[in-house]
Chains A and B, each alone.
Chain A
Amino acid sequence: MRIRLLSTVAAVVGLTLGAVAGAASAADPIKVGAIISATGPASFLGDPEKKVLELYADRVNQAGGVAGRPVQLTVYDDGGAADKAASFTKRLIESDKVDVIVGGTTTAATMAAVPLVERGEVPFISLAGAVVIVEPVKKWVFKTPHTDRMAAEKVMDDLKKRGLTKLALVSEDSGFGKSGREQTLAVAKERGIELVADETYGAKDTDVTAQLTKIRNNAAAQAVLVFGLGQGPAVVTKNYRQLGITLPLYQSHGVASKEYIRLAGGAAEGVRLPAAGLVVASQLADSDPQKKVVVEFTKVYEEAFSSEVSTFAGHAYDGLMIALDAVKRAGGTDKAKLRDAIEQTKGYVGTGGIVTMSAKDHMGLSLDAFHMVEVKQGDWALVK
């Protein structure tokens, strides 16, 4: 009699515990880790990225999470230092045990994290620009922003349209700048553009007049391309106007943010750069499939933060959404299945363009996802 009572009690307790445990695993959070350069020279890329990740993780949770599971976001600030990025990645993989990592604001931070995510077998969606991140393709590494090679190609196409063939290059010593320089050299050869100058500057330099003077005195130059990100290119732009150089000035998408225009001030007038549709959301044709997504994102961002949207915010949004969409398709957070699901993203309409990835293409954007824009009266204007 007592044994039967005991076993019944045990069974009831066991079932209850099982039910509770079951309920807990149904609400098992999706652990998303992020390493962002919210401070430091890349802060105008990293700060909007951090804000967007936090905002959208919140919104998704308020709408019930993904398949009933809440999103648990862990964000670390690497301050723009690649070694810190590496140690934070280690922490995310080993002690926070995240399911997926979205981040790596700068190319340097991303490349520092790559060997760790490959070894730890955690899917990683990078927010940085250089093409080396996805070429050669690494099993666990993906990215959302357009590559520096695409930026170079877009700029050279625009040069050809204007009948210019001799380009002077000013590149930053950062990972993105160095990679951009290599890509520009390679693409120039393919497209028949001649590089007549190849100057470099430091990401934290406060004065670039020495390098620009050399370009000004170079009679062959017909246009100048600056490859850098964050505040360095703003200094270059100011010095450019100070020296009175009137050649067309191009920038890379590393400055596709209103912060660049604010820092460079009037000097940015007339500068052209390739940017995602997001920055000219209202100027896109209504038939453009991106228009709805970018207009919506712009509205949400500007309401939440009272500041203008930037492509970097968009890249973070795309990264998070692609990751969560893949969780849905993979039916869970099994890392291998999640990785496969990310690789199978097809026709995803994001702020950067329409994303279709494959085993050979871990970025999924084509050249027409880029639009050439020009700075007119302190705002972006689509160049038709």
Chain B
Amino acid sequence: MFAELLQYMLSGLTIGAIYALAGLGFSIIYNASHVINFAQGEFIMIGGMASATLTASGVPLPLAILIGCGGAMLVGVAVAKFAVERARDASTVTLIIITIGASIFLRGLAELVWGKDFKRLDAFSGETPIQFLGASMQPQSLWVVGCAGVLIVAIGLFFNKTLTGKAMLATSHNRLAAQLVGIDVKRVVLASFALSAALGAVGGAVVAPITFSYTEMGIMLGLKGFTAAVLGGLGHGPGAVAGGLIVGVAEALGAGYISSAYKDAVAFVIILAVLLFMPNGLFGKRGAERV
């Protein structure tokens, strides 16, 4: 009974860590530019596909992940520069549709570059399951949770301790004021896209041994990452992380105890509930407008 619950929790936490990374990506970009970037899922996909194909052609794993990361960051900056910046003054809905268009474009491009089949990436430290109090988990899950944890802590330190990070935080609080103190806001937006892309790409690489990488893997991961971000309060970094873990675990418990047929529905029910009853999410500040 307990072993069963533990098993579900472990698989939920593993996938939840990826949702957390995706959600964090959404939050960072939203903070810097008030754009909800639906191409976030594609950054994850680029990381996963690049690492899988590069390792298959002999490149050592760490280098492959780095190259995938770098590639995703370039793509992120390209999306920011050519899609988002051009439409700077458009309405929120227009910007969202533009990012959705970018994601469809990236998916098509990925299909041309990498083909349509599923790519396999070998687990980083083998596949012998680790037994833990009656539940078993793949060693790769530890990599996923570990990498996600390290990245999240690093992001936190970046925002709070470095000048660039603080500049980005400042931009999110008040764009005009940030410009007045000399922060190049355009650069901040580009940096936020690059950062989110890097987070997504590493997440994609680290989860690929579990899920296989294929060109459409970004759709669901991106949408559930968005759910995580909204659940935590759009723009609240730690909230997005918590949101991701909650969505992951809820999904696993739902599949285990209720019905496996509705697994995907869990995330969407959560987002509906949040938008209807708690639009600011768990940790978001209540928006106030000065009249």
Contact = CB atoms under 8 A, between A and B. Distances in A.
Contacts of A217: 3-4
Interface stretch (B60-68, B72-80, B151-159, B254-262): B254-262
B120 A263 contact: yes
Given A44-B117, A213-B256, A243 B4 contact: no
Given A205-B263, A213-B4, A242-B137, A44 B211 contact: no
Nearest to A39: B116
Given A200-B261, A202-B263, A209-B11, A242 B138 contact: yes
A157 B220 CA distance: 40
Given A213-B4, A217-B4, A242 B263 contact: no
Contacts of A265: 120, 122, 127
A12 B138 CA distance: 82
Residue of A173, A201, A213, A244 ringed by the most chain B CB atoms within 10 A: A213
Interface string B102-120: 0000000001000011101
Contact of A207 (B111, B210, B216, B261): B210
| Interface size class of chain A, counting residues whose CB lies under 8 Å from the partner chain | 35 or more
Interface string A195-239: 000011110111111110110010000000000000100110010
A210 B210 contact: no
Given A210-B256, A234-B212, A266-B127, A243 B120 contact: no
Nearest to A211: B260
A191 interface: no
Residue of A44, A205, A208, A209 ringed by the most chain B CB atoms within 10 A: A209
Contacts of B216: 40, 204
B15 A206 contact: yes
B184 interface: no
Chain B binding surface SS class: helix
Nearest to B11: A209
B194 interface: no
Contacts of B117: 43-44, 47, 259
A108 interface: no
B38 interface: no
Interface string B256-282: 100111011000000000000000000
Contacts of B116: 38-40, 43, 47
B118 A231 contact: yes
Contacts of A173: 261
Nearest to B14: A207
Contacts of B146: none
A34 interface: no
Contacts of A259: 117-118
B111 A39 contact: yes
A201 B136 CA distance: 20
A262 interface: yes
Contacts of A59: none
B129 A244 contact: yes
A38 B129 CA distance: 34
B7 A213 contact: yes
Nearest to B122: A265
A200 B264 CA distance: 13
B255 A211 contact: yes
A44 B138 CA distance: 26
Contacts of A242: 127, 129, 136-138
A267 interface: yes
A241 interface: yes
A217 B7 CA distance: 12
B253 to A, nearest CB: 8
B252 interface: yes
A201 B260 CA distance: 6
Given A214-B256, A217-B4, A243-B129, A263 B212 contact: yes
A207 B11 contact: yes
Given A241-B127, A267-B127, A235 B212 contact: yes
B226 interface: no
Contacts of B261: 173, 200, 202
Nearest to B131: A244
B30 interface: no
B26 interface: no
B193 interface: no
Contacts of A214: 4, 256
A242 B139 CA distance: 10
B8 interface: yes
Interface in A164-195: 173
Contacts of B131: 244
A199 B260 contact: yes
Contact of B11 (A201, A210, A238, A262): A210
B118 A200 contact: no
B15 A207 contact: yes
A200 B260 contact: yes
18 contacts: A38-B116, A43-B116, A173-B261, A199-B260, A200-B259, A207-B252, A209-B252, A210-B252, A210-B255, A213-B4, A217-B3, A231-B118, A231-B212, A242-B129, A242-B138, A243-B136, A244-B131, A263-B212
Q: Which 5 A-B pairs have the closest CB atoms?
A: A206-B211, A210-B256, A210-B255, A39-B116, A209-B11
Given A40-B116, A204-B216, 4 more contacts: A47-B117, A200-B259, A202-B260, A211-B255
